[in-house]
Amino acid sequence: MDREELKSKVTAKLGSTQLTAITDETIDHQLDFALGFVSDDTQVDDAFVERVAANLKNIDGGSHKLIGSRIQEYKAQHPQVAPSPAPSPETPKPDSSNERLEALLKQTEERIKKMEDAAAAASLKAEKDEAVKQVVRGFRSLFKSSGLDVNDFLLDLAMKDVAVPDKDIDISALVKTAEAKYMEYAKKLDIDVGVSRTGSGSGGGKSKTDLRFERKKRRQEALLK
C-alpha cells in the first residue's frame, strides 16, 4: 500500500475533522512512518487506520494549543500602544518587534517538531509492543497445534532475546526466532519442554525424565547379569 491509499483511508476516518495546524509535509511524514510497519496490505485494517488518524489529530491539536499559547504570551508581553510619531529620516529606529516575533515563531516550530518526534516514538513503541503480542500468540498457537504445553518461564526468557525491528516486521520469522531461543534455554537449563499429546514430541513420545529412567533401568539390569 502506498501513501496516497493510506491518506485516502485516514481522510475518510477523520470525516469532518480538519488538520489545520500541521503541514502536508508533516502529514506525509507520519503516513510514511506508519507504512514502515506494514509488510502486507491486510495489516492496514480499520484499527490501524484509526491509530494513524488519532495520532495526526493529537499532533494537530497539540500544535493548535502551542501556537495559541505562544500568541497569547506574545500579546501579553507586547501590549498595543498608541503609535508614536514617525521618527525623522535621519534618525531611523529599528523595528525590534518583528525580530522578537520571528524568534517566537522559530521556538514554536521547534516545539512542534519535538511533539512530532515524541508522537512518532510513541507510535513506534505501540507498534513494537503489538508485534511482541503477536509473536507470543503465534508461538503459543504453534505449540498448541503440536499438542505441547508452553513453559511460561522459558517463553519469557526467549522473548527477551527476540529483537523486534523498527520496520518491515516479519511475525513468522520472529516466531521462529522465539522457538529457537525457547529450545536453547530448555536445553541449557535441562528443562523438559513436554511431550506431545499427539505422540509427536521429543524422544519418540517420551519425556527426558522417561528416557533417564530407562537408561537407569538398563544399567541396573546390566549389573545383575
pLDDT score recorded for residue 47:
86
Residue 103 within a domain: yes
Residue 218 within a domain: no
Residue 216 within a domain: no
Using 50, 70 and 90 to split pLDDT, how confident is the model at 12?
confident
pLDDT score recorded for residue 20:
74
Range of the domain at 139: 3-80+94-194
Residue 129 within a domain: yes
**Calpha distance 32→3 (Å, rounded):** 6
**Calpha distance 193→139 (Å, rounded):** 14
Q: Is 141 left (phi over 0), alpha (psi -120 to 50) or beta?
A: alpha
For residue 26, give the amino acid letter.
Answer: T
Q: Which helix (H) or strand (E) holds 103?
A: helix 96-145
Residue 124 within a domain: yes
Residue 36 within a domain: yes
Q: What is the pLDDT of residues 115-172, one digit of tens each?
A: 888 888 888 888 889 999 999 999 999 888 888 889 999 999 999 999 999 888 899 9
How many domains would you assign to the chain? Answer: 1
Residue 223 within a domain: no
Asked if residue 82 has pLDDT above 60, the reply is no
**Calpha distance 179→143 (Å, rounded):** 9
**For the CA atoms of the chain, what is the radius of gyration?**
31
Round the average pLDDT of the chain to a whole number and report it: 77
∠ at Cα 50 (16, 160), nearest 5°?
160
Helix (H, G, I), strand (E, B) or coil at 172: helix
pTM of the model: 0.46
Residue 11 within a domain: yes
